Amino acid sequence: MAEFDGKIVLVTGSSGIGLGAALHFAREGAKVFVCGNDDAHNAKAREAAGELPLAVATIDVSIPEEVKGWITAIGEGEDGIDILVNAAAIQTYGTTETTDIEHWNRVISINLTSCYLTSHYAYPFMKQRGGGSIVHVSSVQGHANQNAVLAYATSKGGIHALVRAQAVDAAKDNIRVNSISPGSVRTPLLEFAARTAATDGKSVDDMIAEFGKAHPIGRVGTVEETGALIAFLCSDKAGFCTGGDYLIDGGLTAGIGV
Ligand X SMILES: NC(=O)c1ccc[n+]([C@@H]2O[C@H](COP(=O)([O-])OP(=O)(O)OC[C@H]3O[C@@H](n4cnc5c(N)ncnc54)[C@H](O)[C@@H]3O)[C@@H](O)[C@H]2O)c1
Instruction: Indicate which residues carry an active-site annotation.
Output: 152
Q: How many CA atoms lie within 13 A of 148 on its CB side?
A: 8
CB of 7 to ligand X, least distance (A): 21
In the complex with ligand X, the residue whose CB is nearer, 61 or 150, is 61
CB of 248 to ligand X, least distance (A): 9
CB of 113 to ligand X, least distance (A): 10
CB of 14 to ligand X, least distance (A): 5
In the complex with ligand X, the residue whose CB is nearer, 72 or 222, is 222
Q: Give the DSSP per-residue string, 203-216.
A: -HHHHHHHHHHTST
In the complex with ligand X, the residue whose CB is nearer, 129 or 177, is 177
In the complex with ligand X, the residue whose CB is nearer, 13 or 80, is 13
Within 8 A by CB and 6+ apart from 78, the residues are 8, 31
Residues that bind ligand X (CB under 6 A): 13-18, 36-38, 41, 59-62, 87-90, 110, 137, 139, 182, 184-185, 187-190
Within 8 A by CB and 6+ apart from 122, the residues are 10, 71, 75, 81, 84, 132, 134
**Separation in Å, CA 73 to CA 8, 53, 207:** 13, 17, 42
